[in-house]
Homo-oligomer: A and B are copies of this chain.
Amino acid sequence: MNYCSECGAPVLSRIPPGDTRPRHVCVNCGAVHYQNPKLVVGAIAAWEEKILLCRRAIEPRRDKWTLPAGFMENRETTAEAAIRETQEEACAKIALGEMFTLIDLPHIDQVHIFYLARLLDADFHPGDESLETALFAEADVPWSQIAFRTTTLTLRRYFDDRRHGQWRFHNIVSAAP
Q: Give me the interface of A with B, judged by CB distance under 8 Å.
A: 1-11, 18, 21, 24, 33-39, 71-80, 98-99, 102, 104, 106-107, 109, 111, 128, 169, 171, 173
Chain B residues with CB under 8 A of A72: 36-37, 111
Chain B residue at smallest Cβ distance from A34: B71
Q: Closest B-chain residue to A77, C-beta based? A: B104
Q: Which listed residue, B1, B18, B80, B104, touches A5 by the CB 8 Å rule?
A: B1
Residues from chain B with Cβ under 8 Å of A8 in the complex: 2-3, 8-10
List 5 additional A-B contacts (Cβ < 8 Å) besides A3-B4, A5-B11, A8-B10: A2-B8, A36-B71, A72-B111, A78-B104, A79-B104
Residues in B with CB closer than 8 Å to A5 are: 1-5, 11, 24, 33
